[in-house]
Every structure is written in C-alpha cells, then in structure tokens.
Structure 1
C-alpha cells in the first residue's frame, strides 16, 4: 500500500495552482475581448486569491515571477479600467476603444505567461509591466 502513494513535488503543486489561475484569468480575458461572452468577475477574484495565497509558497522558485505577473496584470488592468471609465460618460466609442485595448493587453499578458509557464520558464525582469 505504501507504494501506491504518489509523491507530488512542491513545484508540481505550484505549477498546478499556476495553471488553475492562468485558466481562470484566460476565461475572463477572453470574455472581456469577445462581445457577449462576459465571464464573471468572480472567476477573476478566485484567481487573484489563489495568486496571493500561493505567492509565498513560490518564493525562490522560477514560478514566483508568474504569481507576481498575474497579480500585476489584474491590478494594472483594474487601474486602467478605472482611469478610463470617464470616457464612457463622454461618448460610447472612446470608452469602448479604451476598454478594448486594455482587454487585449490583459489577454496578451495571460497568453504570454501561459506560454512561458508551459516551457517552465520564469517571467523575465523586463516583463515586469
């Protein structure tokens, strides 16, 4: 029976949590870009909580940069949405353009992070923002 126990390395567990978070972020990012496919903000909040909780476990590993990458992506996108929200009051088109660009930028960051994580590579320091 003791041989039936599967030993999961900490990196494997972190990578699994990282994938869960990236997939939740991806669902939200696609929902933000595809008209009519809005995903719940709850998914984004769940992913953000995962990232904040597991970030300390990833300290000192190549995956630490991914947890920070996802947290910064959400915080920057949120800030940009708030800063540009006044554009919706002026006219529909400027607000739509601004939020579309922010959403595309967010989707790009999530896909870029997923590609690097799939290759077991950290985010590079130049990729901070």
Structure 2
C-alpha cells in the first residue's frame, strides 16, 4: 500500500469548550496519513494520477476555520471532507494536537487521533 503524509501542519485556530478558547485561539498541529495507490503517478509523473498535497492542505485549513467544541468533531469533519473529495483513499489517520490547552501544568499539547478505513472489507 502506498501512503501520503502531511506532517506537523501548524494552523492557528479557535476551538474549544471554554468561551475564551474561541476568542484567544491557539496553534494546532495536524498530522495526516493517507493510503491510496500511488503507482500510476510513480510511472506517469502526472499530478492528475495522484492526490494533490496542496488540496489536502487546503481542506485542513478550510476545516480549521470552522469552530468546534471538540477536537473529535473537528477531526471527523476533516476526515469526511478528505474522503468526499478523494474517494480513492482507502484509509485516513489524523492526529490533531492543541498546543496550549487551558489546563494545569506544563505540556507540549493535548491530542486526539482518529482513524477510518474505507476499504470494501470493512
């Protein structure tokens, strides 16, 4: 299986349950793993035979602009949009990290990870 990764995409956005999170905002780090057949593009060297990284990046940015209370909801929306635009993707794994969650203590961030298998066997 062939894979495409977008790694450590950093986007400033406004998500959270607390009202101040929707005003102040913070950086989010997104990591996406996509499974699809890349061999046609490996032979043709033609963008039309693959998934455009730029299109995936655009989906990430567009969905991050829409406020959600929960990262789980945000992640579900992103996965749905990616698969809607690129039904040839058989599997998507998405990790979203909120870099400054409003919690006690010092931490690098709080994350969720969602996986969805779109293959015919599931």
Which structure's residues are more often helix, by fraction? 1
Rg larger in 1 or in 2? Answer: 1
Q: TM-score, normalised by structure 1?
A: 0.29
- With the length of structure 2 as denominator, give the TM-score of the two structures: 0.31
- Which one has the bigger strand percentage? 2
